[in-house]
Structure 1
Amino acid sequence: MKALIQRVTRASVDVEGDTVGAIDHGLLALVGVEKGDSQAEADKLLHKLLNYRVFSDADGKMNQNVQQVDGDLLLVPQFTLAADTRKGLRPSFSSAATPDEGERLFNYLVVQAQAAWQNVATGEFGGNMQVSLVNDGPVTFLLES
């Protein structure tokens, strides 16, 4: 599994004009599921999401995680993160999980995240989403489990 995380001051996801998920200060995580991923990879990714130190401490160093700053977490399924872009001028999705498997693992990640942290919002798997964000920094990292 992969997650492109961005430290944000706010972020939201709209589907057909309705806001389905929104957060304030925290992390926006665009999540991609690849073939062969399992619940173990989802658990590793969640551990990284909740513990990755991308927020500033009192000395201005990135030394605090989303929980330490009482931040929010917005999980958005992002099929295109699983693309192979090494060859040609068109992405290949042969390494992406099937839609059913991707949805199952994304939903598992969401349930685990909501059990571990109270400030979790989500996008809509398979939905035509419009994601808005204000990237703080900007701070963006690609996490892989």
Structure 2
Amino acid sequence: MKRSSPPLLVVLATLLTACDPPGQVNPPTEPAQPIQGPGTSAPPPQRPPGMEPLMRGAGATSFIGRWAPTAETCAQPGDQAALRITTTDLHGRGLRCVIESIDERGQGYDALLDCETGSGRSSRQVRFEATNETLRLIRLDRPDEAPQRLIRCTALAR
């Protein structure tokens, strides 16, 4: 009688179990350490110029949106009525500003703006304190000026 060789699957299983010494298998809750050695670490991904992260801090960009003193003002067309704030700029109500830097501090964000108005160019330091529906806009460089209270313009008011 001819002796048959063990099935290929049994041979592969035996070889694979011989690779790891007993007790060296990581449980699912403890992943294996990354492989170390030359060529194992990839450089961090590069962002295209101009796409650097603007926000420093872990909070949400709650001040992003369209804001005005009243719902009626939100409904008015044009740039003179509402203030539009993005992660890179702020414009409307006679202002056109670039957000140069922004830092999360406590319950708000302190920003340095480079602004252009009808009377020229200026730098402004402001603070954004936003909830879901209101924004307090505080001029840090003018402590005697009262904070502006704005409401979020909804999509229906645009």
Which is helix-richer, 1 or 2?
A: 1
What's the TM-score once normalised by structure 2's chain length?
A: 0.24
Higher relative contact order (CA 8 A, sep 6+): 1
What's the TM-score once normalised by structure 1's chain length?
A: 0.26
Larger Rg: 2
